[in-house]
Amino acid sequence: MPETAARRFLWASVAGIAVSCAAFAWMVTGGTFRFFRSVPFSNFYDVQARSLLHGTWSMPASVLSIEGIRTNGRTYMYYGPVPAIMRLPVLLVTHRFDGRLTEPSLLIAFLVALVFSSLLSWRIRRIIRGPVEVSGVEMGLTAGLIMVIGLGTVFLFLGSTAQVYEEAELWGAAFTLGALFALVGFLERPTGKGLVATGILATLAMLTRGSVGIGPLVAMGLAAVIYLLVWLSNVAPRWRPTARMLTRVSGIRATATPGRFGLGLLAAMGIPLALYVTINEIKFATPFSIPLSRQVLTFENAHRRAALAANGGSLFGLKFLPTNLLQFVRPDALTVTRVFPWIFFPGKALVLGNVLYSTRDWTSSIPASMPVLFLLALLGMVVVYRSGSHRPRPTTACSLESSTREGTMGPSEPALAAETASPGITALRLPLLGSAAGTGGILIIGFIAERYLADAMPFLVVAALAGWHSVLRWRPGSDMGSAPRTVRRLAGALLAGLALFEVWTTFSLSLFYQRELGPVVTIPKRAGMVSLQNRVNHWLFGGPVTGVRFVSKLPLHAAPLDLAVVGNCAAVYQFDGNTWQPVELGGRGGALLLDVTFPRTDLGRRQPLVVTGGSSPQDVVAVAWEGGDRYRFSYYFAGSNFFGIGRRWYTEAPVTVPSGPNRVQVDLVTGLGQVYITVGGSPVFSLIYPVASPTDVRLGTAPPGIPTTPQFAGSIRSLTVPTPICNELERRRPG
């Protein structure tokens, strides 16, 4: 029966993981299922891997841009190296995927997180329920639980933006879940193999994202202290009562060689800690902290400088704890909005006390957006920590021996045994305590963001799985399943309803952030979302589109997601809660629509596509043929303020462009400092930085002094820019 149960549990988990990964793939690719795209702030790990191949931790300042930290004339990134190291097998054989691996990396991290969650579920199931069969109903429930963990939590949200930030969060949580899985197995049955696995996974977690990776290290450190105390009690009898009490309370299984395991745990904890400190010293000349005063963003952003000055030069401190804790646990952190998919973020976090935050991004909370996981985690905490919960199975013959040891103890003072009983569910106590410590970083930082909830996921998953299997233990006919059938059915219906609500809520928040609220939402992506919302609104309710203003110039303030039509369809903008963002630009609003046939000449040389900005010096949009059907787009700045560097090119990775004529749209949003280029409707270039005004536009010809070929070798002509969204809004204008 155990083999059959394991096989049925495996297939149920595989089904849940497969559905979840398919949905995540849709989300992370923006609904296209086209991987290997390049977006801003997605190439950090690729460039870090290339730097490591050249024997240095430093990276080009132009790559790291505002996230770079300067030390002794060099620029470093503050993210751990593991995701970069994992790219080496690909980068060693080709340059084709440079800057394009974040989306597949996120999908793999999502898969790894769910695999470790399912392995933890099986291990906790065996601890709580023993070797019982897996029924057909439980198979369905198991698949559903995995889908809730994958699609109803911040894990799915991390796929809404494919950047280095989300990649670090997701891999950090995945490796931490793996380390906790290995640690629970070790505490239940201590072996050298289990100790090594725990140490390796903890090292990967710590060197990916230290804030969450510290959790397994804290748990291992506590276990090491108890093991060493057990060893001490064998040679110093006065410590035996304390050792017995601690092993019982902490879920430690004493062994014949407690000293060996204690030292092993110290090593498994110390190695990743030492590596982290060493790398931090090399980069920043400090063992643990990140010198934000030397970050490029601090040099560029007055608000960041003010936040650091107001908080003693740091963005960490206990003064942030009340605000962050309130935001992450408040039960009302959701609102309903008029547009699809309707469930929206609350307003920005309420600041308690006189503290200045660097950023308060759109953020919900654990109880509001993940109610099923939250309620199961509360139950799990009660089950794991209540006194005498799920007492361990009877001790084996080699449990607590009464053998004497000359000069150490007398017949009435038995030593801690060579092998005590299995600790049962108490084996989860230290892992839960450690993973709770891994949430500390997001509670004391002057930065609030939805993605930070990923640091709490290892703790939530372990606690929720304990609660889940305790619920399944209350089956009909057992001593804990005597509740009336009607009560059980109502409880099941409530749980199912909450699960559906959780999945839809996460989908809704993720979609809003990906396509309307996030930091790198392109004009085509925002336009597609607004068009979809207008169609859904018209299909369901009819009548005029609500929340639209028709203005001659943009107002200072508006409600989030409000639209503004400027002039006679010069542009359509949407308010994202901070600023007005472009949805659609007309010819008078900064858009250029071109019919272009790209040349296959002058390999590797930039050719001028658009020159704009008026009198010299001028901004230039250029393209270079990289061989075959691949082209690289670049932008040349007229000014000298690009991250403190003089006039230079900003270049993104090559893209595939079909042969023959192509519709190319260049959107120059000078008021916000944005450039978007699409070819055939597909984004090929995006830049968020102040650019020259689209005046005195010149097509295909570069003035003297511009480092391009004099002429564009292909064909290029200007077209009228269509404005379908604006036309529809005008058609449905009230009155």
State pLDDT tens for residues 495-515.
899 999 999 999 999 999 999
- What tokens does 657 get? 């462009």
Residue 334 and residue 363: Cα distance in Å, rounded?
A: 9
DSSP β-bridge partners for residue 339: none
Closest of 303, 467, 306 to residue 381, by C-alpha: 467
pTM > 0.85: yes or no: yes
The model's pLDDT over 226-245, given as tens digits with 9 standing for 90+, comes to 999 999 998 898 988 998 99
Instruction: Pick 597 or 733 by higher pLDDT.
Output: 597
Confidence of residue 636 (pLDDT cuts 50, 70, 90): confident
Show the beta-strand stretches assigned E in 183-249. none
Residue 116 and residue 206: Cα distance in Å, rounded?
A: 17
Confidence of residue 640 (pLDDT cuts 50, 70, 90): very low
Determine contact, residues 467/380, Cβ cutoff 8 Å. yes
Determine contact, residues 591/676, Cβ cutoff 8 Å. no
Residue 446 and residue 503: Cα distance in Å, rounded?
A: 29
Determine contact, residues 526/515, Cβ cutoff 8 Å. yes
The model's pLDDT over 511-521, given as tens digits with 9 standing for 90+, comes to 999 999 998 88
DSSP β-bridge partners for residue 534: none
Q: Note the pLDDT of residue 520.
A: 80
Class for the domain spanning 591-719: mainly beta
Average pLDDT over residues 103-115: 98
CA distances from residue 67 to 164, 280, 312 in whole angstroms, order as listed: 10, 16, 20
Confidence of residue 653 (pLDDT cuts 50, 70, 90): confident
Residue 609 has pLDDT above 90, yes or no: yes
Q: What is the pLDDT of the chain when averaged over all its residues? A: 89
Residue 465 has pLDDT above 70, yes or no: yes
Closest of 287, 288, 309, 305 to residue 296, by C-alpha: 305
Closest of 701, 710, 708 to residue 636, by C-alpha: 708
DSSP-based three-state secondary structure for 201: helix
Q: Note the pLDDT of residue 411.
A: 37
Average pLDDT over residues 81-99: 95
- What tokens does 52 get? 């490591």
The model's pLDDT over 41-66, given as tens digits with 9 standing for 90+, comes to 899 999 999 999 999 999 999 889 88
Determine contact, residues 657/630, Cβ cutoff 8 Å. yes
CA distances from residue 418 to 196, 253, 263, 733 in whole angstroms, order as listed: 21, 10, 17, 81
The model's pLDDT over 388-445, given as tens digits with 9 standing for 90+, comes to 554 444 443 333 333 333 333 333 344 555 445 678 899 999 999 999 999 999 999 9
Q: Note the pLDDT of residue 683.
A: 83
DSSP β-bridge partners for residue 610: 621, 699
Integer Rg of the chain from CA = 29
Average pLDDT over residues 457-486: 80
Residue 371 and residue 384: Cα distance in Å, rounded?
A: 20
Give the residue range(s) of CATH 2.60.120.200 domains in the chain.
591-719
Instruction: Pick 94 or 617 by higher pLDDT.
Output: 94
**How many residues are present in the chain?**
735
Q: Note the pLDDT of residue 479.
A: 45
Residue 688 and residue 669: Cα distance in Å, rounded?
A: 9
Residue 303 and residue 312: Cα distance in Å, rounded?
A: 14
Q: Which of 165-169, 526-530, 540-544 has the lowest mean pLDDT?
A: 540-544
Q: Note the pLDDT of residue 185.
A: 96
Confidence of residue 682 (pLDDT cuts 50, 70, 90): confident
Instruction: Pick 162 or 705 by higher pLDDT.
Output: 162
Q: Note the pLDDT of residue 1.
A: 57
Cis-peptide into 341, omega within 30 deg:
yes
Determine contact, residues 295/67, Cβ cutoff 8 Å. yes
Rounded percentage of the chain residues whose pLDDT exceeds 70: 91
